[in-house]
Amino acid sequence: MTYPLEFKQKFVYQENERGIFIPVTLVCEAETTACGAKLDTGADFCYFAREHAEEIGLNVDEGTVLRVETSRPEHPMIFYGHEIKIQALGYEIETTVYFWEHYRLPRNLLGRAGWINKFRLALIEHDLELYLSHYDE
Amino acid sequence: MPEIENPYAQATVENFRRTPASLRPQLLKMLERELNGAESDQNDPATSFRRIPFNDRAEEFQWLAQNSGRFQGEWVALFGNRLLAHGVDYSKVSQEVKTLGIDGAMFMFIEGEGNEDFVRFLP
């Protein structure tokens, strides 16, 4: 038995030992900022650096609080959720993005809730190919 | 009626069976509201996404693959294969790009070594 799949978009990503990085633009009303984010199926949500939030005019600390456990339970990471638009790989969606309370987040993550769960994805790591369509498409 | 072979559906049925009988009518109404809400979302795909022109930023990511090792712990601003500005202070990097009058630069923080908490965090 075979399982044929069709997708509307193809992205050939750059080989990078740190992961699969995707070009992303964050949009809040008329403000935009372009950055890169790592595709991360292990991340529950979308996490971005505080600097990007401030660039598009968000008051980070006014968002919904999300506490994320770390290897040191006494030091959870605090993020603030905001409803904004993410533009990536030819699609613009409205979603919740969580920004870290501190500056210099090591890397931005596109996680399951908020981005991955909006799309149908296929990954061929061997060829550095990512295929996707929006789930409603 | 055959049972649905989906773990979430089966868990829902199991939880329904465990719910006190007095609460079941209320639970059914809650599920019905969830169903109607989900259907109205699905019936309005125009608001769920928008197709836009796609820029793969291939030059920027190629530059990062080749050069990011020299900028660990810094922000870099790139436009194509051009490094517009870099530094540890994002606001200074951003300001420098604005003075250049270039729209659409890509900003990346180049992570360094020793981010163990972040690497191991449990999202």
Look up tokens 């979302």; give the residue.
B41
Q: Mean pLDDT over all residues of chain B?
A: 82
B14 vs chain A: nearest CA distance in angstroms? 25
d(CA A136, CA B81): 35
Q: What is the pLDDT of residue A100?
A: 96
Confidence band (pLDDT; 50, 70, 90) for B120?
low
Residues of A in contact with B105 (CB under 8 A): 34
A61 vs chain B: nearest CA distance in angstroms? 18
> Is 90 exceeded by the pLDDT of residue B3?
no
Q: What is the pLDDT of residue B44?
A: 46
- Say how many C-beta atoms besides its own lie within 10 A of residue B81's C-beta: 12
Q: What is the pLDDT of residue B116?
A: 55
Of how many residues is chain A composed?
137
d(CA B48, CA B66): 37
Residues of A in contact with B65 (CB under 8 A): 14-16
| pLDDT, block means (10 residues), chain A with 137 residues | 95 91 97 97 96 97 92 87 97 97 95 96 97 95
How does pLDDT run across B55-102, given as a tens digit for each residue?
999 999 999 999 999 999 999 999 999 999 999 999 999 999 999 999
How does pLDDT run across B12-59, given as a tens digit for each residue?
777 788 777 877 877 887 788 777 765 544 444 445 899 999 999 999
3-state secondary structure of B117: helix
Residues of B in contact with A136 (CB under 8 A): 42, 45, 48-49
Asked whether A134 and A93 are in contact (CB, 8 A), the reply is yes
Residues of A in contact with B72 (CB under 8 A): none
The closest alpha carbon to A66, from A17, A19, A33, A114, belongs to A114
d(CA A65, CA A49): 15
Say what the pTM is: 0.79
Distance, CA of A132 to chain centre: 15
Residue A38 at interface with chain B, using a CB cutoff of 8 Å:
no
3-state secondary structure of A12: strand
Q: What is the pLDDT of residue B24?
A: 80
Nearest-CB residue to A69 (from B109, B116, B121): B121
Q: By 3-state DSSP, what share of chain B in percent is helix, strand and coil, each rounded to 5?
A: 55, 15, 30
Element holding A123 (H helix, E strand):
strand A119-124
Asked whether B109 and A106 are in contact (CB, 8 A), the reply is yes
Q: What is the pLDDT of residue B45?
A: 43
Strands B50-51 and B106-109: unpaired
Inter-chain residue contact B55 with A16, CB threshold 8 Å: no
The closest alpha carbon to A89, from A45, A132, A29, belongs to A132
- How large is the C-alpha radius of gyration of chain A? 16
The closest alpha carbon to B67, from B58, B56, B76, belongs to B76
Q: Tell me, what amino acid is at A125? A: E
Inter-chain residue contact B107 with A93, CB threshold 8 Å: no
Q: What is the pLDDT of residue B1?
A: 57
